[in-house]
Amino acid sequence: MTKLSKLKPGQRAIIRNFTKAETYLKLMEMGCVPGENILVDQIAPFGDPISIKVAGYLLSLRLNEAEDIEVELIN
């Protein structure tokens, strides 16, 4: 497992866990739940924010939020 913040554009992963409860509650409302497939779409030039495809739409996350999401890479 790795952190979402470590992925590069084009990489796919499955959300496995959240390290902070407040991040989990916020992102759960947007479709980011454990078991959901995601695709890293874009990363801003300075690394923050990142854009991911999840639950059929694009979602922008701050790097510190992405650091709280543990994912498993899909090869």
Domains of the chain: 2-74 (2.30.30.90)
pTM: 0.87
pLDDT of residue 32: 84
| pLDDT surpassing 90 at residue 46 | no
pLDDT above 90 coverage of the chain, percent? 65
Instruction: Quickly state the pLDDT bin for 23 (edges 50, 70, 90).
Output: confident
Could you write out the DSSP letters of every residue in the chain?
-EEGGG--TT-EEEEEEES-HHHHHHHHTTT--TT-EEEEEEE-TTS-SEEEEETTEEEEE-HHHHTTEEEEEE-
